[in-house]
Chain A
Amino acid sequence: MSSTENINKSSSRITWEGCSVLLDINDGDRLVFARLSPAAKLKIGNKNCSLQPLIGCPFGTVFQLDTSDSDGPFLSPFQPKGDVNNTDEIKDGHFQAESKDDQPNSESKDNRSLIDNNTAQSLTGEDIEDMRRQGAKGNEIIEALIANSATFDKKTSFSQEKYRLKKQKKYAPRVLIRRPVARSICEAYFKKYPLKIGFLRVDTLSLLLSMANVSSNSDILVVDMVGGLLTGAVAERLGGTGFVCNSYLGQTPHSMDIVRIFNLSDEICKRIVRSSISDLLSPKESRPQNPKQDVGSVESQSIDQMSVSVSMEEASHSPENGISDIGAENTTFPALKAYKATKAGEKASQEILDSWKENGFSSLIIAAPDLDTWTVVRDLLPLLSNSAPFAIYHQYLQPLATCMHNLQLEKMAIGLQITEPWLREYQVLPSRTHPHMQMSAFGGYILSGTKICSS
Chain B
Amino acid sequence: MLASHPEKRISFNRSISYGDLVIVYERHDNMKAVTVSEGSVLQNRFGVFKHSDWIGKPFGGKVFSSKGGFVYLLAPTPELWTLVLSHRTQILYIADISLVVMNLEIVPGCLVLESGTGSGSLTTSLARAVAPKGHVYTFDFHEQRAALARDDFERTGLSSLISVGVRDIQGKGFPDEFIGKADSVFLDLPQPWLAIPSAAKMLKQDATLCSFSPCVEQVQRSCDALQSCFTDIRTFEVLLRQYEVREEKMESFHGDDNGSNGSLSRKRRQCSDGNYVLSDSTSSVMARPCGEARGHTGYLTFARLKCFL
A397–B288 Cα distance when bound, in Å, is: 10
- The reply on A387 being an interface residue by CB < 8 A is yes
The answer to whether A450 touches B237, judged by C-beta atoms less than 8 angstroms apart, is no
Partner of B108, one of A239, A425, A426: A239
How far does the Cβ of A334 sit from chain B's closest Cβ, in whole Å?
Answer: 27
A59–B304 Cα distance when bound, in Å, is: 11
- The reply on A237 being an interface residue by CB < 8 A is yes
A422–B3 Cα distance when bound, in Å, is: 31
Which B-chain residue is minimally distant from A423 (CB atoms)? B238
Contacts of A417 in B (CB 8 A): 28, 242
A241–B6 Cα distance when bound, in Å, is: 12
- The reply on B102 being an interface residue by CB < 8 A is yes
A451 with B60, Cβ < 8 A, contacts A401-B245, A418-B242 known? yes
Contacts of B304 in A (CB 8 A): 60
A203 with B108, Cβ < 8 A, contacts A13-B204, A422-B240, A433-B219 known? no
Contact-residue bracket for chain B = 35 or more
- The reply on B131 being an interface residue by CB < 8 A is yes
- The reply on B94 being an interface residue by CB < 8 A is yes
The answer to whether A387 touches B237, judged by C-beta atoms less than 8 angstroms apart, is no
How far does the Cβ of B78 sit from chain A's closest Cβ, in whole Å?
Answer: 7
Question: Which of A43-51, A288-296, A357-365 forms contacts with chain B?
Answer: A357-365
The answer to whether A86 touches B79, judged by C-beta atoms less than 8 angstroms apart, is no
Question: Which of B41-49, B225-233, B255-263 forms contacts with chain A?
Answer: B225-233
The answer to whether B74 touches A86, judged by C-beta atoms less than 8 angstroms apart, is no
A179 with B206, Cβ < 8 A, contacts A61-B307, A430-B224 known? yes
How far does the Cβ of B135 sit from chain A's closest Cβ, in whole Å?
Answer: 13
Partner of B10, one of A206, A210, A358, A385: A385
Partner of A421, one of B58, B220, B240: B240
Which B-chain residue is minimally distant from A202 (CB atoms)? B102
How far does the Cβ of A340 sit from chain B's closest Cβ, in whole Å?
Answer: 20
A418–B108 Cα distance when bound, in Å, is: 29
- Which residues of chain A (407-455) have a CB below 8 Å from chain B? 414-426, 428, 430, 433, 445, 450-453, 455
A405 with B61, Cβ < 8 A, contacts A209-B102, A213-B78, A241-B108 known? no
A423 with B237, Cβ < 8 A, contacts A359-B12, A455-B62 known? yes
- The reply on A369 being an interface residue by CB < 8 A is no
The answer to whether B285 touches A60, judged by C-beta atoms less than 8 angstroms apart, is no
Interface bits A110-126 vs B (CB < 8 Å: 1, else 0): 00000000000000000
Contacts of A415 in B (CB 8 A): 25, 28, 74
- The reply on A282 being an interface residue by CB < 8 A is no
Partner of B12, one of A59, A183, A360: A360
Grouping DSSP codes into helix (H, G, I), strand (E, B) and loop, the A interface class, with mixed when no group exceeds half, is mixed
The answer to whether B238 touches A203, judged by C-beta atoms less than 8 angstroms apart, is yes
A178–B11 Cα distance when bound, in Å, is: 39
- The reply on A207 being an interface residue by CB < 8 A is yes
- The reply on B216 being an interface residue by CB < 8 A is yes
The answer to whether B242 touches A419, judged by C-beta atoms less than 8 angstroms apart, is yes
Interface bits B239-270 vs A (CB < 8 Å: 1, else 0): 11111010100000000000000000000000
The answer to whether A416 touches B28, judged by C-beta atoms less than 8 angstroms apart, is yes
Partner of A183, one of B62, B102, B243, B245: B102
The answer to whether A362 touches B9, judged by C-beta atoms less than 8 angstroms apart, is yes
Contacts of A210 in B (CB 8 A): 78-79, 94, 97-98, 101, 125
Contact-residue bracket for chain A = 35 or more
Grouping DSSP codes into helix (H, G, I), strand (E, B) and loop, the B interface class, with mixed when no group exceeds half, is mixed
The answer to whether A58 touches B206, judged by C-beta atoms less than 8 angstroms apart, is yes
A77–B61 Cα distance when bound, in Å, is: 60
Contacts of A423 in B (CB 8 A): 99, 236-238
A218 with B206, Cβ < 8 A, contacts A386-B59, A425-B236 known? no
Contacts of B285 in A (CB 8 A): 398, 401-402, 405
- The reply on A128 being an interface residue by CB < 8 A is no
A325–B309 Cα distance when bound, in Å, is: 27
The answer to whether A387 touches B287, judged by C-beta atoms less than 8 angstroms apart, is no
A280–B11 Cα distance when bound, in Å, is: 16
The answer to whether A401 touches B101, judged by C-beta atoms less than 8 angstroms apart, is no
Interface bits B5-35 vs A (CB < 8 Å: 1, else 0): 0100111111000000000010010000000
- The reply on A211 being an interface residue by CB < 8 A is yes
How far does the Cβ of B213 sit from chain A's closest Cβ, in whole Å?
Answer: 11
- Which residues of chain A (162-189) have a CB below 8 Å from chain B? 179, 181-183
The answer to whether B241 touches A419, judged by C-beta atoms less than 8 angstroms apart, is yes
The answer to whether B58 touches A426, judged by C-beta atoms less than 8 angstroms apart, is no
- The reply on A151 being an interface residue by CB < 8 A is no
- The reply on A84 being an interface residue by CB < 8 A is yes
Interface bits A193-217 vs B (CB < 8 Å: 1, else 0): 0000000001101110111010111
Which B-chain residue is minimally distant from A406 (CB atoms)? B285
The answer to whether B219 touches A428, judged by C-beta atoms less than 8 angstroms apart, is yes
Partner of A433, one of B129, B220, B228: B220
Interface bits A379-397 vs B (CB < 8 Å: 1, else 0): 0000001111100000001
A10–B238 Cα distance when bound, in Å, is: 30
A216–B285 Cα distance when bound, in Å, is: 38
A79–B306 Cα distance when bound, in Å, is: 10
The answer to whether A182 touches B9, judged by C-beta atoms less than 8 angstroms apart, is no
- The reply on B281 being an interface residue by CB < 8 A is no
How far does the Cβ of A165 sit from chain B's closest Cβ, in whole Å?
Answer: 15
Contacts of A34 in B (CB 8 A): none
- The reply on B299 being an interface residue by CB < 8 A is yes
A58 with B205, Cβ < 8 A, contacts A362-B3, A385-B10 known? yes
How far does the Cβ of A322 sit from chain B's closest Cβ, in whole Å?
Answer: 22
How far does the Cβ of A393 sit from chain B's closest Cβ, in whole Å?
Answer: 13
Which B-chain residue is minimally distant from A219 (CB atoms)? B3
Contacts of A83 in B (CB 8 A): 227-228
Q: A215-B4, A418-B245, A428-B233 are in contact. List 5 more A-B contacts (CB 8 A).
A: A183-B102, A415-B74, A421-B241, A426-B299, A450-B25
Q: Which 8 A-B pairs have the closest CB atoms?
A: A239-B108, A387-B60, A386-B60, A60-B206, A86-B233, A206-B102, A60-B307, A359-B11
23 contacts between A and B (CB under 8 A): A13-B204, A60-B206, A77-B309, A79-B309, A84-B232, A179-B105, A183-B102, A211-B94, A213-B78, A236-B107, A241-B132, A362-B9, A385-B59, A386-B10, A388-B60, A389-B79, A405-B247, A415-B28, A421-B239, A424-B238, A425-B236, A430-B220, A445-B243
A residues whose Cβ falls under 8 Å from a Cβ of B: 11, 13, 58-62, 77, 79-80, 83-86, 179, 181-183, 202-203, 205-207, 209-211, 213, 215-218, 236-242, 358-360, 362, 385-389, 397-398, 400-402, 404-405, 414-426, 428, 430, 433, 445, 450-453, 455
